[in-house]
């Protein structure tokens, strides 16, 4: 499961990553990455774990990850299965992401046929190519 401090919930963050960031396509996913120093405000319940406070840099935002799994992927059961697999893949790499990174993972139709390990491999490959890892 993706920890709350890494979840993207603001539509502004999604738009910033998709429209203002860079993207790379893989066989089953498209990875969008934008780096921001001013993400949307962190909800009060997430303030502590999502932020690192130091003398040199008073507030360092945690990276945020969002998912887009459209109806083109399949019916509701398949979409939720793909979303769970992508969340597991994102949780595996979330701690390695650059601070302030906004990452959106968009599932393609072929994602329904891939297992969690394959999706994790594709995500790592895409993030490495974009320089986010």
Instruction: Locate 114 and state its tokens.
Output: 């891939």
Distance CA 113, CA 46 (A): 34
Q: What is the mean pLDDT of residues 30-39?
A: 82
pLDDT value at position 55?
A: 45
pLDDT value at position 122?
A: 97
pTM: 0.82
Identify the DSSP state of 7.
B
Q: Which domains does the chain have, with CATH numbers?
A: 26-32+61-132 (3.30.230.10)
């Amino acid at each position: 499961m993706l920890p709350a401090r890494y979840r993207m919930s603001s539509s502004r963050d999604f738009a910033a990553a998709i429209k203002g960031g860079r993207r790379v396509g893989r066989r089953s996913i498209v990875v969008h990455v934008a780096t921001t120093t001013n993400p949307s405000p962190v909800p009060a319940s997430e303030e502590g774990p999502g932020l690192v406070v130091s003398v040199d840099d008073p507030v360092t935002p945690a990276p945020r990850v969002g998912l887009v799994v459209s109806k083109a992927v399949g019916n509701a059961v398949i979409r939720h299965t793909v979303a769970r697999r992508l969340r597991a893949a994102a949780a595996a790499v979330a701690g390695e992401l650059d601070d302030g990174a906004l990452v959106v993972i968009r599932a393609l139709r072929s994602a329904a046929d891939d297992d969690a390990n394959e999706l994790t491999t594709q995500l790592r490959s895409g993030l490495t190519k974009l320089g986010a890892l």
